[in-house]
Amino acid sequence: MNDAKRRLIFERLRAANPTPTTELEYRSPFELLVAVILSAQATDKGVNQATARLFPIADTPQAILDLGEEGLKAQIRTIGLFNSKARHLIKTCELLVSAHGGAVPRDRQSLESLPGVGRKTANVVLNTAFGEPTMAVDTHILRVGNRTRIAPGKTPTAVEQKLLRHVPREFLKDAHHWLILHGRYVCVARSPRCPACPIADLCEFPDKTHD
């Protein structure tokens, strides 16, 4: 795929959704960090239901530490892997309080030093909370990047690097959200909804659906 076609793709995605954002509900960088950690192998809807219970009583690192691990588990037990997520969150909150004054750091190295925070989570926080032009590649973006040929690659990191290299800068801050939403609702895994796709004529997927 050439860069002119990529530009047209992102122009159409922008026209359809000028201000894309995460479907996770949050009011601060810390709440976003918690929601993203909880979202591993869970739906955004399920995370939002849990954080709707959690955040009114604990929306800072210290407040979560005051809950304790068992108290935190009670609030998030509807989410898969809640035991390990609670452990990670408690350790993350301890580090935020001891090393960062209770604030979420806005640099990659510090974010990735937090328990339960990998490159993808760090990219989401940097992009969504702080407006950095990062690219968090999840299963949706991995699929869309390969299927459309916008950014083919065998690993999330390979797709991330190609997107960072080829997406025009004016689209880079929002590209993560456009591609995730496109993969979640249009370019779905089993049977992509090609007839409803706004970029179907630009997509290089050879096996498009027709009904």
Distance CA(154)–CA(77), nearest Å, equals 34
138 is catalytic: yes
Write the DSSP symbol of residue 27.
S
120 is catalytic: yes
Catalytic: which of 45, 120, 174, 201? Answer: 120
Residue 41, by phi and psi: left (phi above 0), alpha (psi -120 to 50) or beta? Answer: left
Catalytic: which of 5, 45, 138, 207? Answer: 138
Distance CA(60)–CA(134), nearest Å, equals 25
Q: Is 165 exposed, middle or buried (0-12, 13-18, 19+ CB in 10 A)?
A: exposed
Distance CA(114)–CA(94), nearest Å, equals 10
Active site residues per annotation: 120, 138
